[in-house]
Amino acid sequence: MANEHINEVIQREYAPGFITNIESDTLPPGLSESVIRIISAKKEEPEWLLEWRLAAYQKWLEMTPPDWAQVTHPKIDHNAISYFSAPKSMADKP
């Protein structure tokens, strides 16, 4: 009974309809070397930091998820995630 009520409540639309519409500069979903380079350029990072991020990305590509925890959850689709989004500045407004 309590679980049914909880499920009913969490599946309802948010009645007040709270939405914050902010124009943003968002990259398409997916992670690659080019995405890392774009993010680094947008953040005006030094070259050494870009190289560090690219090296970390290469190591991450070789990693496999741990299986020691015996946890079951859906596989993460890392290419369905956008890795950069920032609000557009007031200077970008017409």
Per residue in 44-60, pLDDT (tens digit) is 999 999 999 999 999 99
- Specify the pTM: 0.71
Please give the tally of structural domains in the chain.
1
Q: Is residue 81 part of a domain?
A: no
At how many degrees (to 10) do helices 33-42 and 47-62 cross?
150
Residue 32 pLDDT grade (very low, low, confident, very high; cuts 50, 70, 90): very high
Across the chain, what does the average pLDDT equal?
Answer: 89
73 lies in some domain: no
**Residue 58 in domain:** yes
Q: Is the pLDDT of residue 65 over 70?
A: yes
Amino acid in the structure at residue 21? N
**What integer pLDDT is reported at residue 19 of this predicted model?**
75
pLDDT at 1: 63
Q: Is 82 inside a domain boundary? A: no
Q: Is residue 84 part of a domain?
A: no
Is 39 among the domain residues?
Answer: yes
Which neighbouring-strand residues pair with 86? 25
- Residue 30 is part of which domain span? 25-63
Name the burial class of residue 39, with classes exposed (0-12), middle (13-18) and buried (19+) by CB atoms within 10 angstroms of its CB.
middle
pLDDT at residue 94, as a whole number: 59
